[in-house]
């Protein structure tokens, strides 16, 4: 009997040891599982952190690229604006130079034609009264009027003189006369007509002035 009880005790102890071993195994398995879960959680957190960092860096790179692109666009816009302003200044300057050259050309041409106009006026002034209705005289008078009309159309006009106050910008005094009956510094006679082209004097009037 004692040997039988002893065997039973051994079997019971062995069973208990087996149970304890299983419990320890389960505990270790659960611990391992928990550790794995923590490791996975930490890895996942680390992965998310890396992803956020990568996104942040990517966003920063895109912003830098965009800033550089915007700078290049602004630089090109500024360059185009300056070139357009330079071209506009060049165009205005060229137009002004062309206009000045044209005016100088017209003025020079008028200066060369004025002696012809003077001769027409002298010739017509010498025609006797009884010859003024001759066809030749009428033809000469028509040509003279046509020339004066052309002058007026291009902006050439004669300078008013007789009865006006002497203006050194318009008149050239070649004679003076003392006459108390006339206003001082007034023009009493014109020897040669003066002409202006727009606001430029082509030829001063040659006049006699009262003192």
According to the model, what pLDDT value does residue 12 have?
A: 46
Judge whether 160 lies within some domain. yes
Total structural domains in the chain? Answer: 1
187 within 8 A of 166, measured Cβ to Cβ: yes
Which has the minimum average pLDDT: 11-20, 37-46, 50-59, 62-71?
11-20
For residue 81, being part of any structural domain is answered with: no
Residue 179 located in a structural domain: yes
In a domain, 57, yes or no: no
Tell me if 31 is assigned to some domain.
no
pLDDT of residue 31: 66
Mean per-residue pLDDT of the chain: 81
What 8-state DSSP symbol labels residue 159?
P
User: What is the structure's pLDDT at 18?
Assistant: 58
Establish if 117 belongs to a structural domain: no
Is residue 116 included in any domain, yes or no? no
Structural domain harbouring 194: 156-211
Name the phi and psi angles at 173, rounded to 5: -80, 115
CATH at 207 = 2.30.22.10
Q: Are 114 and 195 in contact (CB under 8 A)?
A: yes
What separation in angstroms does the CA of 118 have from each of 105, 109, 124, 185, 192? Answer: 21, 15, 10, 26, 8
Specify the range with the lowest mean pLDDT, choosing from 53-57, 171-175, 176-180. Answer: 53-57
Q: Per-residue pLDDT for 159 more than 50?
A: yes
Q: The whole model's pTM is what?
A: 0.55
Mean pLDDT in residue range 139-159? 92
Tell whether the torsion through CA atoms of 162, 164, 165 and 168 is positive or negative. negative
* 3-state DSSP assignment of residue 167: coil
**10: confidence class by pLDDT, cuts 50, 70, 90:** very low
In a domain, 73, yes or no: no
**What are 13's two structure tokens?**
């102890």
What is the tens place of the pLDDT at every residue in 62-80? Answer: 766 777 888 888 888 888 8
Q: Which residue has the higher pLDDT, 112 or 32?
A: 112
């Amino acid at each position: 009997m004692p040997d039988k009880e002893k065997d039973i005790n051994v079997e019971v102890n062995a069973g208990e040891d087996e149970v304890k071993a299983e419990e320890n195994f389960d505990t270790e398995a659960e611990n391992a599982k928990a550790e794995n879960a923590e490791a996975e959680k930490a890895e996942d957190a680390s992965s998310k952190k890396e992803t956020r960092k990568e996104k942040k860096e990517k966003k920063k790179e895109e912003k830098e690229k965009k800033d550089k692109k915007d700078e290049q666009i602004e630089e090109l816009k500024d360059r185009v604006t300056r070139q357009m302003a330079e071209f506009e200044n060049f165009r205005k300057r060229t137009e002004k130079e062309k206009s000045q050259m044209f005016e100088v050309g017209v003025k020079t041409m008028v200066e060369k034609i004025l002696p012809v106009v003077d001769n027409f006026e002298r010739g017509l002034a010498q025609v006797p009264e009884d010859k003024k209705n001759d066809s030749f005289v009428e033809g000469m008078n028509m040509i003279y009027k046509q020339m004066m009309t052309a002058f007026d159309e291009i902006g050439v006009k004669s300078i008013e003189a007789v009865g006006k106050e002497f203006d050194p910008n318009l008149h050239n005094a070649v004679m003076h006369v003392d006459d108390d009956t006339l206003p001082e510094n007034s023009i009493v006679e014109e020897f040669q007509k003066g002409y202006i082209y727009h606001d430029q004097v082509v030829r001063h009037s040659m006049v006699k002035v009262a003192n």
